[in-house]
Amino acid sequence: MKLFPTLFSANARVTPFGDASARLDAGRMGMWIFLAVLALLFLSAIFGYLFVRIENAATWMQGSPPPPPAILLSSTAALLLSSWTMHCALRAAQRGDKTQGKWMLATLALALLFLVLQAFAWVQLIQLHLTNPFTTGLYAWMFYVLTGLHALHVFGGLVPLCATTARARRCEYGPNDFGGALYTAMYWHFLDGAWIVLYITLLLGSSS
């Protein structure tokens, strides 16, 4: 942090808000807008998917397998569970409870499990029928693009999740200071919702 003295020094003006609750209020609004941005990103991708899916209604699934259901159901379960553990972590953080670290750690573990399962889904899809993924059709590619886009956001979310987990492990969050945990939790629930929408779209898209 010595490299960036003005960014992290206690004397630096890192916020124009006079009190913590006003700052949290603004942070929450900023986070909602950021999530709206990400929602539009995913919705545009889904729109693109539906556009080419509808244009190729007759040939879309010709000779192609549906996405591997068992693995995707497991990864969905892992992500849903991580949303619940994140909810518990935030509640604990807001109370200043000592369990906040454990819940955050559980969320982190489930996030990693989700990514591993998604990778398995990719590998299985490639092994099953798509021997050379670089020359296969639009159907498979759109699966990779949509799930890859989501996985990248989960992967990116690991950075704030690791940071909040470290702070929660030291029990640093309390009733007057839980902004970091709140913003990470909002992001995490969004990823959960985005995945449900994506998964349903992919399921419907791969039924003939």
Binding site for other proteins (CB under 8 A): 4-7, 12-17, 22, 25-27, 29-30, 33-34, 36-38, 40-41, 44-45, 48, 51-52, 55-56, 59, 134, 137-138, 141-142, 145, 149
Closer residue to other proteins in complex, CB, 85/206: 206
Burial of 98 (0-12, 13-18, 19+ CB in 10 A): exposed
Can you read off the two tokens belonging to residue 202? 């992919």
Least separation in angstroms between residue 109's CB and other proteins is 29
Which DSSP symbol is given to 65?
P
Closer residue to other proteins in complex, CB, 9/176: 9
- Asked if 78 and 118 count as a contact pair (C-beta separation under 8 A), the reply is no
Find, among 82, 44, 62, 91, the residue nearest to 201 by Cα: 44
Closer residue to other proteins in complex, CB, 52/81: 52
SS3 177: strand
SS3 19: coil
Least separation in angstroms between residue 31's CB and other proteins is 10
Closer residue to other proteins in complex, CB, 26/171: 26
- Asked if 195 and 77 count as a contact pair (C-beta separation under 8 A), the reply is no
Least separation in angstroms between residue 194's CB and other proteins is 13
Least separation in angstroms between residue 50's CB and other proteins is 11
